[in-house]
């Protein structure tokens, strides 16, 4: 069809640069090992931190919910699509997060978009870390609020931004809890102290910290002992929780406001019963099977040490997200392809997801990986790294 030639040209350029990527379908369930292109490989690219995408207790809850309530809800939450189970789950989630209330959105992406776009006006300003997730950036783009971007985890830069914005009604400092591409943790205690000093609000996106950090996976706020001092906790139900969705854990006031003004919440159909039932069961799993989180961290230490011993540059990560830095965009993709040859699925991440010159293969170990899986993966990294002269 004519009319998209200008898009085709850009795609051709990407192909020339070696940055064009096809989607890669899994032919098996998500897990420590998956089947891709007919080959079994070790999965190091999922966000399935605790292996909950196929936890038997959550599968059972989902199956029972389908039997009882069907596969869909047929409406948005505010018209006829709120099931009792949606509200029960939100209460349970708020209790788990030690907050007054919680509200579930369709995804983590729409949560950030919905919160940021609805609670700020041109009387307000949002102060955002330069490496925050795309959904935070897009949420900010949708507000009429003033914007200040501070240097990544740089507290002097944040303080400067707070000093320069004292005339605004509300100042909202927003940060990822764990940065998704580098795996470093935001310096939340310092952020909260500065926000308190300058009378600003704090919002944390715990997409990569829910189920990973804090007691039973309560997230970065709990990890740093800051319960009650962070105004808005956002998270996803699609990564460690293993299902789908996003949440805001905060006050009843914010929840009520978002029910009326959060556009993705208002104008998009509610989660199917199976999704909500599985998310609900995930809280029981987090509370009753803390050994999953222990295993995740044991695996993380083992794998990070192994990569370091092999001579790879693994950046500044402090969490199960471990980038293996290579620099050049095309090299990151070649490295990923070579790893696949060696039996490991670990995706290359290049511009525009990360800055030019900072391309990497990003790995995430999970609680499901066995020592043998991880040792085999390290052997594959050694082979591929040597072949491409990334290590000696
Ligand atoms: C920091 C961060 N926030 C939000 C999201 C979006 O979450 P979801 O996949 O549930 O839309 C992601 C996922 O990529 C993320 O990494």
| Burial label, 27 (beta-carbon count in 10 A; 0-12, 13-18, 19+) | exposed
Per-residue pLDDT of the chain (392 residues; tens, 9 = 90+): 899 999 999 999 988 877 787 899 999 999 999 999 999 999 999 999 999 999 999 999 999 999 999 999 999 999 999 999 999 999 999 999 999 999 999 999 999 999 999 999 999 999 999 999 999 999 999 999 999 999 999 999 999 999 999 999 999 999 999 999 999 999 999 999 999 999 999 999 999 999 999 999 999 999 999 999 999 999 999 999 999 999 999 999 999 999 999 999 999 999 999 999 999 999 999 999 999 999 999 999 999 999 999 999 999 999 999 999 999 988 999 999 999 999 999 999 988 888 889 999 999 999 999 999 999 999 999 999 999 999 99
Q: Shortest CA distance to 198 belongs to which of 229, 161, 231?
A: 161
Task: Give the residue numbers annotated as catalytic, written as ranges.
Answer: 180, 208, 239
Rounded to a whole number of angstroms, the distance between the first and last alpha carbons of the chain is 50
Alpha helices in the chain (DSSP H): 5-17, 56-69, 84-97, 108-119, 134-141, 155-163, 188-197, 220-223, 252-261, 263-266, 273-288, 291-310, 329-341, 371-387
Most informative mutation of 180, 186, 248 for ligand 1 (most atoms within 8 A of CB):
180
pLDDT value at position 20? 82
Interval between CA 94 and ligand 1 midpoint (Å):
20
pLDDT tens digits along 132-152: 999 999 999 999 999 999 999
| CATH architecture assigned to 18-53+290-388 | Alpha-Beta Complex (3.90)
Q: What is the DSSP letter of 33?
A: E
Residue from 132, 135, 240, 242 whose mutation best tests the ligand 1 pocket (most atoms within 8 A of CB): 135
Nearest CA to ligand 1 atom 2: 207
What's the CA gap between 240 and 226, in Å, rounded? 21
pLDDT at 81: 97
* pLDDT at res. 21: 79
Residues 42 and 346: their CA atoms lie apart, in Å, by 8
Alpha-carbon gap, residue 146 to 363, rounded angstroms: 36
341-357 pLDDT, tens digit per residue, is 999 999 999 888 888 89
CA 53 to ligand 1 center in whole angstroms: 16
CA dihedral for 138, 143, 149, 150, sign (positive or negative): negative
Q: How far, in Å, from the CA of 387 to the mean position of ligand 1?
A: 34
Ligand 1 atom 7: the closest Cα is on which residue?
108
**CA 199 to ligand 1 centroid distance, Å:** 28
Contact 126, 145 (CB under 8 A): yes
Q: Does domain 73-271 have CATH number 3.40.50.1970?
A: no
Name the token pair of 46.
């999922």
Query: Is the CB of 132 within 6 Å of ligand 1?
Result: no
Decide: 219 in ligand 1 pocket, CB within 6 A.
Answer: no
The pLDDT assigned to 343 comes to 98
All residues at 6 or more sequence positions from 353 whose CB lies less than 8 Å from its CB, including other chains: 181
- The domain segmentation of the chain, as residue ranges, is 18-53+290-388, 73-271
pLDDT confidence of residue 352: 82
pLDDT at 46: 98
Residues in the chain: 392
Other Cβ atoms within 10 Å of 388 Cβ, number: 15
Q: How far apart are CA 108 and CA 207, in angstroms?
A: 7
Q: Which atom of ligand 1 is nearest to the CA of 180?
A: 16
> Could you identify the residue written with the tokens 């009753």?
288
Ligand 1, atom 15, lies closest to the CA of 207
177 lines ligand 1 (CB under 6 A): no
Q: What residue's CA is closest to ligand 1, atom 10?
A: 108
Best of 177, 239, 323 for a ligand 1 pocket test (most atoms within 8 Å of beta carbon): 239
Atom 8 of ligand 1: nearest residue by CA position: 108
Q: What is the pLDDT of residues 173-231, one digit of tens each?
A: 999 999 999 999 999 999 999 999 999 999 999 999 999 999 999 999 999 999 999 99
């Amino acid at each position: 069809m004519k009319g998209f030639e200008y898009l085709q040209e850009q795609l051709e350029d990407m192909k020339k640069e070696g940055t064009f990527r096809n989607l890669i379908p899994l032919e098996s369930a998500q897990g420590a090992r998956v089947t891709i292109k007919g080959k079994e490989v070790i999965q190091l690219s999922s966000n399935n931190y605790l292996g909950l995408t196929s936890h038997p207790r959550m599968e059972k809850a989902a199956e029972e919910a389908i039997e009882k309530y069907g596969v869909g809800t047929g409406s948005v939450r505010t018209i006829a699509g709120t099931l009792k189970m949606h509200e029960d789950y939100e209460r349970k989630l708020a209790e788990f997060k030690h907050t007054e209330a919680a509200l579930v959105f369709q995804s983590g992406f729409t949560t950030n978009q919905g919160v940021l776009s609805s609670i700020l006006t041109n009387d307000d300003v949002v102060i955002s870390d330069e490496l925050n997730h795309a959904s935070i950036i897009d949420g900010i783009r949708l507000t009429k609020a003033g914007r200040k971007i501070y240097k990544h985890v740089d507290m002097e830069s944040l303080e400067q931004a707070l000093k320069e914005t004292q005339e605004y009604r509300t100042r909202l400092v927003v940060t990822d809890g764990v940065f998704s591409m580098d795996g470093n943790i935001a310096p939340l205690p310092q952020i909260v102290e500065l926000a308190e000093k300058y009378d600003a609000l704090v919002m944390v996106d715990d997409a990569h910290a829910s189920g990973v950090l804090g007691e039973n996976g309560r997230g970065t706020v709990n990890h740093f002992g800051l319960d009650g001092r962070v105004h808005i906790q956002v998270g996803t139900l699609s990564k460690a929780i293993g299902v789908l969705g996003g949440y805001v854990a905060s006050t009843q006031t914010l929840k009520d406001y978002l029910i009326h003004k959060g556009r993705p919440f208002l104008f998009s159909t509610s989660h199917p019963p199976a999704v909500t039932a599985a998310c609900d069961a995930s809280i029981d799993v987090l509370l009753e099977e803390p050994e999953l989180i222990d295993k995740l961290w044991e695996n993380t230490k083992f794998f990070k040490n192994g990569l370091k011993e092999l001579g790879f540059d693994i950046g500044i990560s402090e969490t199960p997200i471990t980038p293996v830095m290579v620099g050049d965009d095309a090299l990151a993709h070649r490295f990923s392809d070579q790893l696949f040859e060696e039996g490991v699925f670990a995706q290359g991440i290049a511009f525009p997801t990360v800055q030019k010159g900072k391309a990497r293969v990003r790995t995430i170990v999970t609680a499901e990986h066995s020592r043998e899986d991880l040792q085999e993966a390290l052997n594959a990294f050694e082979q591929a790294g040597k072949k491409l002269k990334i290590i000696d």
